[in-house]
Amino acid sequence: MNNRLRVLRAERRWSQADLAQRLAVSRQTVNAIETGKYDPSLPLAFRIARLFAQPIERIFELDEEEPAPRDEAMPATRAQG
């Protein structure tokens, strides 16, 4: 997953520690997200989006090389009766 977190943080002149404090995570977590070593949980992604007042899709983008998740819909069942 690609993200714009480093750019958004730099635009505000925040250090990784500043951002980590605002998100209630460690600086190491911010670094790992920025470098693509860690994908944030959905609640954390929402907190990041709220903090930067942007939709999640403007911050995080699925890497084109990653396979899309399969739609594992449950098989249809026939009504009995």
Q: How far apart are CA 72 and CA 38, in angstroms?
A: 25
Determine, yes or no, domain membership for 69.
no
Question: From the DSSP assignment, how many helices (H) and strands (E) are in the chain?
Answer: 5, 2
CA-based nearest residue to 54, from 1, 18, 12, 17? 12
Of 1, 15, 10, give the one whose Cα is nearest residue 44.
1
Structural domain boundaries, residue 6: 2-53
> For residue 76, is pLDDT > 60?
no
pLDDT in tens, 16-66: 999 999 999 999 999 999 999 999 999 999 999 999 999 999 999 987 765
CA distance 81 to 45: 46
Q: Is the pLDDT of residue 67 over 70?
A: no
Is the confidence at residue 81, as pLDDT, over 90?
no
Instruction: Identify whether 70 is part of a domain.
Output: no
Would you say residue 78 lies in a domain? no
Asked if residue 77 is part of any domain, the answer here is no
Q: Are 69 and 9 in contact (CB under 8 A)?
A: no
Tell me how many domains the chain contains. 1
